[in-house]
Amino acid sequence: MIHIPAAEVIGTGDWNVIKKLDVFMKSTKHIYITICADVFSTAFAPGVSAAQPLGLHPEDVLKYLKHIFRSKKVIGFDIAEVSPRFDHDSTTASLAKVLIFSVVNTICSMQGLSR
């Protein structure tokens, strides 16, 4: 298991995060990814139980997510902590939808199935 705090992602930049991910990916045979929606800034994910005003930007998370999927070690993926009762105009649900679409698109590209 690897845990990279949001402050580290924001404060140290891409190279440091990618390096940590690479070390982890080399040390394991299979990877299961859970994205907790409450890691994102409330501007992008208000529909969570533990809102983070200084959370992560979805584009940063997508970049790292795609990097992990390209390792071809991912055996499963889910999104947790989306709370419809707190979600304004389905903003958080839409973000979850974009994340899922991006994952499927990345897998299709890796398999030569993209247009």
Amino acid letter, residue 93: A
Mean pLDDT of the chain: 92
Q: Which two tokens stand for residue 66?
A: 């795609």
Question: Is a pLDDT exceeding 80 seen at residue 115?
Answer: no
Q: Which whole number is the average pLDDT over 26-37?
A: 96
The DSSP H or E segment spanning 79 is: strand 74-80
Question: For position 84, what pLDDT does the model report?
Answer: 92
CA angle, 13 then 16 then 18, to 5°: 100
Q: What is the pTM of this model?
A: 0.87
Distance (Å, whole) CA 86 – CA 77: 23
What Rg do the C-alpha atoms of the chain give, in angstroms? 14
* pLDDT tens per residue across span 76-114: 999 999 999 999 899 999 999 999 999 999 999 998 886
